[in-house]
A and B are shown apart, each in its own frame.
Chain A
Amino acid sequence: MSPLEILDPTVEPKKQPLTYVPRPDSLKGKRIGLVENTKFNSDRLLLKIGEILKSEYGAAETRMWRKHNSSVPAHDEIIDEARRGVDVVVAGVGD
Chain B
Amino acid sequence: MTTQLVSKRYAVEDPGQAIELCFEKGWTDGLPVVPPTESRVRAMLDLVGLAPEHQVAFITNRQVAVTAEKVAINAVMAGCRPEYMPVVVAAVEGIGDPRWGYHGPATSTGGAGVLMIVNGPISRSLGFNSGDNLFGPGWRSNATVGRAVRLVMRNAIGTLPGKLDRGTLGHGGKYSYVIAENEEESPWTPLHVERGCRPGDSAVTVMAALAPHQFYNQLSSTAAGVLTTMCDAMKNPGMIGQPHYCVVLAGEHMRTIGADGWSKSDIRKFVFENTQNSVAHFKRTGRIAGAIKPDDESTMRSLVLTSDDLLVVAAGGRAGSFSCYIPGWGSRTSSQAVTVTIKDRRG
Q: Which residues of A contact B (CB under 8 A)?
A: 2-11, 13-14, 16, 40, 68-73, 95
Given contacts A7-B73, A71-B103, 10 further A-B contacts (CB under 8 A): A4-B11, A6-B22, A7-B9, A8-B73, A11-B65, A16-B63, A68-B333, A69-B334, A71-B104, A71-B107
Contact present for A4 and B37 (CB under 8 Å): yes
Contact present for A72 and B8 (CB under 8 Å): no
User: Per-residue 0/1 for B3-41: is the Cβ within 8 Å of any A Cβ (1 yes, 0 no)?
Assistant: 001011111111101100110010100000001111001
Jot down 12 A-B pairs with beta carbons below 8 A, ordered by A.
A2-B12, A6-B12, A7-B41, A8-B10, A9-B7, A9-B27, A9-B36, A11-B70, A40-B289, A69-B330, A71-B103, A72-B104
Q: How far is the CA of A95 from the CA of B25 in the complex (A)?
A: 33
Q: Which residues of B contact A (CB under 8 A)?
A: 5, 7-15, 17-18, 21-22, 25, 27, 35-38, 41, 61-67, 70, 73-74, 77, 101, 103-104, 107-109, 151, 155-158, 289, 330-331, 333-335
Contact present for B333 and A69 (CB under 8 Å): yes
Q: How far is the CA of A73 from the CA of B331 in the complex (A)?
A: 16
Q: Which of B11, B14, B104, B289 contacts A70 (CB 8 A)?
A: B104
Please indicate the chain B residues that have their CB under 8 angstroms from the CB of A95 in the complex: 109
Q: How far is the CB of A67 from chain B (nearest CB, A)?
A: 10
Please indicate the chain B residues that have their CB under 8 angstroms from the CB of A9 in the complex: 7, 27, 36, 70, 73-74, 77, 151, 155-156
Please indicate the chain A residues that have their CB under 8 angstroms from the CB of B67 in the complex: 11
Contacts across chains A and B counted by CB atoms under 8 Å: 101
Please indicate the chain A residues that have their CB under 8 angstroms from the CB of B8 in the complex: 7-8
Q: How far is the CB of A65 from chain B (nearest CB, A)?
A: 15
Q: How far is the CA of A66 from the CA of B36 in the complex (A)?
A: 45
| Interchain residue pairs A-B with the least CB separation, the first 8 | A71-B104, A2-B11, A9-B155, A8-B8, A7-B7, A9-B73, A69-B333, A11-B156
Q: How far is the CB of A69 from chain B (nearest CB, A)?
A: 5
Please indicate the chain B residues that have their CB under 8 angstroms from the CB of A6 in the complex: 9-10, 12, 18, 21-22, 35-37
Contact present for B63 and A7 (CB under 8 Å): no
Please indicate the chain B residues that have their CB under 8 angstroms from the CB of A7 in the complex: 5, 7-10, 36-38, 41, 73
Q: Which residue of B lies closest to A5 (CB)?
A: B9
Q: How far is the CA of A9 from the CA of B158 in the complex (A)?
A: 11
